[in-house]
């Protein structure tokens, strides 16, 4: 199948979105965003623990005032969770993540879509930095109010990402204002620890009922970035064949959805269905992707995935001996980020260093992708 055939089949009417510009209509990258994606929940918004919603009788949750009332009542009734102080709303402002958990919720709560740092007015055709909007000033007034009444985590603007995740994984953070992908690892750890009620519901809340949450606004296909083949590639034909294969149903089922038929899923009435064991593992095991390989391969195909901590001590020497193990064991006291060089088809020889890299596991062999020291 040629590249053009792939493009026509995979991208359909969105093919034109891959063109560089009107002046240069060439296609330099195969776009990475999901084609024809159907979303069932917002990507950004406000999160409340299921335990809170249940205890309060599943109250109406449409505005920030509704959100505040729920947090306030639950914290007053439950000053501690798991023998530690209950935290109301916790935010994250660590480095670039300030845009996700601190500033993005301001535009979302005031009816704006997630267009990066900009707000585009569809009526006037003008764009401005979204933080300059008077509407968003009111959101930050609300945050200040939450701080005044003791419902905002006092460490919100100074905590690091790992500290933020650790609090969530303890189950004592009642509410968040974040994107799902930023806290999902800690949430999976909660479920694995037997606390599914401490996981979060995603609520598309607004400052008041005069706004409409815009995260479901159709924006068309975003083809501004993707996978390309460099001019220095030694075998561009092999590279495009690999990209060809990654676009097939066979590859997508194997790498992105179901894994291996019989091992991970069965086909019933013409539909793929995870086995009971894999379904349970997907919902409870924080290492699901690294153990099974399902969901590992995305941009840049070999995706970097942080391995969550397992309560087991292990030395680097033991790690090398366990190179064929399906589960990577990491010290619970440290984040051991390791670099392993893949040699041939198996990891028969490895070079291990303590540096900031992310762990990637495929099948029974363990690979760790090299990453520059941060």
Tell me how far apart the alpha carbons of residues 190 and 170 are, in angstroms, rounded to a whole number: 7
Who has greater pLDDT, 103 or 299?
103
200, 49 in Cβ contact below 8 A?
yes
Rounded to 5 degrees, what are φ and ψ at 158? Answer: -125, -15
Query: Tell me, what's the pLDDT at 259?
Result: 87
pLDDT (tens digit per residue) in 113-124: 888 899 988 889
Q: Report the b/e string of 269-286 with b at 16+ CB within 10 A.
A: eeeeebeeebeebbebbb
Regarding predicted confidence, which is higher, 96 or 116? 96
- Tell me the pLDDT band of 4, cut-offs 50, 70 and 90: low
> Per the structure block, which two tokens stand in for 22?
């009107």
Domains of the chain, first to last: 46-203 (3.40.190.10), 290-374 (no CATH)
pLDDT at 225: 72
Cβ distance 222 to 31 under 8 Å?
A: yes
Q: Of all residues in the chain, what percent carry a pLDDT higher than 70?
A: 76
**Per-residue model confidence as pLDDT tens digits over 320-362:** 344 333 233 332 222 222 222 222 222 222 233 222 233 333 2
163-189 per-position pLDDT tens digit:
999 999 999 999 999 999 999 989 988
Q: Using the 8-state DSSP alphabet, how is residue 79 labeled? A: S
Average pLDDT across the chain, whole number: 77
294 DSSP assignment? T
Distances (CA, A) of 337 to 168, 262, 327, 373: 22, 33, 15, 11
Residue 365 has pLDDT above 80, yes or no: no
What is the average per-residue pLDDT within 299-309? 33
| Interval 46-56: pLDDT, tens | 999 999 999 99
Q: Give phi and psi for 77, each to the nearest 5.
A: -80, -20
């Amino acid at each position: 199948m040629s590249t053009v055939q792939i493009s026509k089949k995979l991208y359909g009417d969105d093919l034109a979105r891959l063109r560089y510009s009107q002046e240069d209509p060439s296609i330099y990258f195969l776009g990475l965003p999901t084609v024809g994606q159907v979303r069932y929940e917002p990507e950004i918004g406000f999160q409340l623990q299921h335990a809170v919603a249940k205890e309060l009788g599943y109250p109406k949750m449409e505005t920030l005032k509704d959100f505040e009332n729920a947090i306030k009542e639950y914290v007053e009734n439950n000053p501690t969770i798991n023998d530690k102080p209950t935290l109301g709303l916790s935010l994250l402002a660590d480095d670039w993540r300030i845009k996700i958990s601190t500033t993005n919720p301001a535009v979302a709560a005031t009816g704006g879509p997630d267009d990066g740092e900009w707000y585009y007015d569809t009526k006037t055709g003008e764009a401005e930095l979204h933080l300059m909007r008077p509407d968003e000033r009111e959101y930050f007034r609300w945050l200040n109010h939450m701080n005044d009444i003791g419902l905002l985590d006092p460490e919100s603007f100074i905590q690091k990402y790992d500290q933020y995740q650790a609090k969530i994984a303890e189950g004592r953070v009642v509410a968040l204002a974040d994107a799902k992908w930023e806290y999902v690892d800690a949430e999976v750890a909660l479920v694995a620890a037997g606390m599914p009620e401490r996981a979060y519901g995603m609520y598309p809340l607004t400052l008041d009922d005069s706004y409409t949450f815009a995260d479901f606004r159709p924006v068309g296909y975003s083809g501004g970035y993707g996978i390309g083949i460099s001019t220095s590639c030694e075998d561009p034909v092999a590279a495009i064949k690999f990209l060809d294969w990654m676009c097939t149903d066979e590859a997508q089922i194997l790498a992105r959805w179901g894994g291996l038929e019989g091992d991970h899923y069965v086909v019933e009435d013409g539909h793929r269905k995870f086995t009971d064991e894999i379904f349970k593992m997907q919902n409870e095991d924080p290492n699901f992707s690294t153990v099974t390989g399902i969901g590992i391969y995305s941009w840049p195909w070999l995706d970097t995935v942080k391995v969550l901590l397992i309560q087991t001590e292990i030395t680097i020497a033991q790690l090398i001996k366990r190179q064929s193990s399906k589960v990577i064991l990491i010290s619970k006291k440290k984040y051991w980020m390791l670099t392993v060089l893949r040699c041939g088809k198996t990891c028969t020889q490895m070079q291990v260093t303590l540096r900031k890299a992310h762990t990637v596991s495929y099948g029974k062999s363990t690979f760790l992708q090299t990453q520059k020291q941060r």
